[in-house]
Amino acid sequence: MRTSDETTKLVEEASKYKYGFTTNIEQDLAPKGLNKNIVRFISKKKNEPKWLLNWRLKAFDTLEKRKDNFPTWANLKYNKIDLQDIHYYAAPKSEDDKPKSLEEVDPELLRAYNKLGIPLKEQEFLAGVKNSHKVAVDAVFDSVSVATTFKSELSKLGIIFCSFSEAVANHPDLVKKYLGTVIPVNDNYFSTLNSAVFSDGSFVYIPPGVRCPMELSTYFRINAANTGQFERTLIIADKNSYVSYLEGCTAPMRDENQLHAAVVELVALENAEIKYSTVQNWYPGDKNGKGGIYNFVTKRGICQEAHSKISWTQVETGSAVTWKYPSVILKGDHSSGEFYSVALSHNCQQADTGTKMIHIGKNTSSRIVSKGISAGRGQQTYRGLVSILPKADNTKNFTQCDSLLIGNDCGAHTVPYIDVRNKSSDVAHEASTSKISEEQLFFCLQRGITEEDATALIVNGFCREVFKSLPMEFAVEAKKLLELSLEGAVG
């Protein structure tokens, strides 16, 4: 994609005129670089209200003032990305820039699609083939009418499920009330960056007493395309409500942006439950570690009121670098938090991932189950914090953190932080590191199972506790994905 001269001109003009952009812009791309005008440009392009622009600008100022940068404390080695060398606004690609057919798409990607059993029409959509977008809507939903039915069913219940931009336009009070309340703008370098330049994302609101009748999935929200880089998601479950939200897709998605810095905030009010499941399969780079996405994600939920519950489940198989700690602040009494994770690092992938459980309320409980798999030269770190604050009487935490090594060149590391300031709490931590044994492999082989299938079988067994907590269909896909990601890990 080439920055058009006209866009450049507009940005220049915007720097001259405080309230620039009066003309309707057709260009797709802002020039590279991060500055106040780019922030204004993004906000203007999205027709945002002034309060949101100001919020973004404040974030930008915070970013400027921050002394820190990409984290150095994580067990990750990577080249820093120059924030001035990134495009911060890109409308969906023009159809002419896209591959004309699947024949022009990377064969490795197609092989992956076929292995995952993805229908051709959807493959075209995922690979970003020209004019596939409209067809894919039909393919995913069977027909457009299904999509419409789905939306009307939700709105009958008062559920709001839309893009973040739509929510800003149609439900500004809700957005204003909760945006940045779980993850403050200045929480960390990436949350600050995201707050200044976020592109789009999802917004969900479940009204009091409503149990969302279906899994809400980004996959169904077609306009989620092209928001991958600086995604912003906000989910609010009002009193006595329930929602299960699925993010991502097992099919490897093409993306030309190297840096991803998403922010996800969850708010659970009294007796509400949010279940958030992720399958992350961004491009991991090639066998030698060339290319691949840097995924710096901030995800946090707050159990704001009593008896609320937040559960994170993640299957992380993609990205060259993963830096991610979906956390729960257990503020309401009797609230509970869960974190179930399977993370795989193959070839040269690195993951530093885990969770934080912050116990503030009384009788709060949390459960952490982390399964890390390292293969090839992959490096995997579990990093977690369990914090029990002084007033959190009778709290419980259980942490289980297992690592599985495949081969001799990979690594697994466990860094649990436990900070207990209340004597009545009960905190348990179990950890194990194991290798797939030759005995196990040979046993499977002797029963006719190939080495690759045997590895997948053993790894799936290792991950079962986490897969069990995924919605059924997602779990089946996640298994297949793990098998695919482990290809070439043995032998």
Partner 1 sequence: MLKISNLSVSVENKLIINNLDLEIGEGKKVAVMGPNGSGKSTLSNVISGKPGYNIKEGSIKFEDTDILKINPDERAAMGIFMAFQYPVEIPGIANSSFLRTAINSIRKKNNIEPVNTRIFLEELNQIASKLGLDKSFLSRDMNEGFSGGEKKKNEILQLLLLKPKLCVLDEIDSGLDIDSLKVISKGISEYSNKKNSMLIITHYQRLLDHVIPDEVHIFNKGKIVESGDHDLVKILEEKGYKEFS
Contact 257, 284 (CB under 8 A): no
- For partner 1, the closer of residues 1 and 476 by Cβ is 476
Does position 237 bind partner 1 by CB under 8 A?
no
- For partner 1, the closer of residues 96 and 438 by Cβ is 438
Q: Binders of partner 1: how many residues, by CB under 8 A?
A: 23
Tokens at residue 348, please?
């040269």
Half-sphere exposure of 281 (CA within 13 A, CB side): 24
Does position 134 bind partner 1 by CB under 8 A?
no
Q: Which of residues 65-84 bind partner 1 (CB under 8 A)?
A: none
Does position 417 bind partner 1 by CB under 8 A?
no
Does position 442 bind partner 1 by CB under 8 A?
yes
Binding mask 447-466 toward partner 1 (x if CB under 8 A, else -) reads xxxxx-x---xx-xxxxxx-
Does position 430 bind partner 1 by CB under 8 A?
no
- For partner 1, the closer of residues 107 and 491 by Cβ is 491
Min separation Cβ 276 and partner 1, Å = 24
- For partner 1, the closer of residues 71 and 461 by Cβ is 461
Enumerate residues 6+ apart whose C-beta is below 8 A from 31.
3, 7, 8, 11, 87
**Degrees to nearest 5, angle at CA 356 with 214 and 418:** 145
What is the rounded distance in angstroms from the CA atom of residue 315 to the CA atom of residue 471? 12
Binding mask 161-200 toward partner 1 (x if CB under 8 A, else -) reads ----------------------------------------
Does position 357 bind partner 1 by CB under 8 A?
no
Q: Which of residues 271-290 bind partner 1 (CB under 8 A)?
A: none
Report the relative pairing of strands 273-280 and 321-324 from DSSP bridges. unpaired
- For partner 1, the closer of residues 2 and 447 by Cβ is 447
Q: 308-342 as b/e, with b when 16 or more CB fall inside 10 Å?
A: bbbbbbbbbbbbbbbbbbbbbbbbbbbbbbbbbbb
Min separation Cβ 434 and partner 1, Å = 10
Q: Which of residues 295-314 bind partner 1 (CB under 8 A)?
A: none
Min separation Cβ 433 and partner 1, Å = 14
Please state, as a whole number, how many other Cβ atoms lie within 10 Å of the Cβ of residue 421: 12
Enumerate residues 6+ apart whose C-beta is below 8 A from 206.
159, 212, 236, 237, 238, 241, 242, 243, 272
What is the rounded distance in angstroms from the CA atom of residue 242 to the CA atom of residue 181? 20
Q: What is the crossing angle of helices 472-485 and 451-467, to 10°?
A: 140
- For partner 1, the closer of residues 284 and 372 by Cβ is 372
Min separation Cβ 444 and partner 1, Å = 8
Enumerate residues 6+ apart whose C-beta is below 8 A from 483.
452, 453, 456, 460
Q: Binding residue for partner 1 (CB under 8 A) from 118, 159, 235, 444?
A: 444
Does position 438 bind partner 1 by CB under 8 A?
yes
What is the rounded distance in angstroms from the CA atom of residue 147 to the CA atom of residue 140? 9
- For partner 1, the closer of residues 168 and 466 by Cβ is 466
* Measured distance between the N- and C-terminal CA atoms of the chain, rounded to whole angstroms: 41
Min separation Cβ 322 and partner 1, Å = 23
Residue type, 170: N
Binding segment for partner 1 among 189-197, 235-243, 246-254, 438-446 (CB under 8 A)? 438-446
What is the rounded distance in angstroms from the CA atom of residue 293 to the CA atom of residue 320? 5
Q: Binding residue for partner 1 (CB under 8 A) from 144, 184, 437, 472?
A: 437
- For partner 1, the closer of residues 24 and 446 by Cβ is 446
Give the position of tokens 């090639």.
Answer: 286
Contact 426, 393 (CB under 8 A): no
Tokens at residue 164, please?
């973040």
Min separation Cβ 456 and partner 1, Å = 9
DSSP state string for 158-214 = T-EEEEHHHHHHH-HHHHHHHTTSSS-TTSSHHHHHHHHH----EEEEE-TT-B-SS
Binding segment for partner 1 among 141-149, 204-212, 260-268, 439-447 (CB under 8 A)? 439-447
- For partner 1, the closer of residues 339 and 462 by Cβ is 462
Does position 432 bind partner 1 by CB under 8 A?
no
What is the rounded distance in angstroms from the CA atom of residue 44 to the CA atom of residue 53? 8
Q: Binding residue for partner 1 (CB under 8 A) from 66, 443, 473, 476?
A: 443
Query: What SS3 state is found at 340?
Result: strand
- For partner 1, the closer of residues 196 and 466 by Cβ is 466
Min separation Cβ 320 and partner 1, Å = 28
- Beta strands (DSSP E) in 392-491 are 396-406, 411-420, 426-435
Min separation Cβ 463 and partner 1, Å = 7
Q: Which residues bind partner 1 (CB under 8 A)?
A: 437-440, 442-451, 453, 457-458, 460-465
